[in-house]
Amino acid sequence: MQGTKRRVTYVFFYEVFSFFICAMILAVLSGTTLSHTGPLSILIAVIAVTVNFFYNYIFEMWEKNQISKIRTVKRRVAHAIGFQIILVMILIPLIAWWMQISLLKAFLLDFSLMVIIPCYTFVYNYLFDHIFGLPSHLLEATELDAKVSS
**Mean pLDDT score of the chain:** 87
State pLDDT tens for residues 69-79: 788 899 988 99
Is the pLDDT score of 142 beyond 90?
Answer: no
The three-class DSSP label of residue 90 is helix
State how many domains the chain has: 1
State pLDDT tens for residues 109-131: 999 988 888 889 899 999 998 88
State pLDDT tens for residues 30-44: 999 999 999 999 998
Return the HEC string of 7-66.
Answer: HHHHHHHHHHHHHHHHHHHHHHHHCCCHHHHHHHHHHHHHHHHHHHHHHHHHHHHHHHCC
Opening angle at CA 7, ends 147 and 146, nearest 5: 5
**pLDDT for res 6:** 83
Q: Are 53 and 11 in contact (CB under 8 A)?
A: yes
- The residue with greater pLDDT, 49 or 61, is 61
Name the percent of the chain lying above pLDDT 90: 41
Name the percent of the chain lying above pLDDT 70: 91
pLDDT band at 150 (very low <50, low <70, confident <90, very high): low
State pLDDT tens for residues 64-104: 888 887 888 999 889 988 988 998 899 999 999 999 999 99
Structural domain span for residue 126: 3-149
**pTM, rounded to two decimals:** 0.63
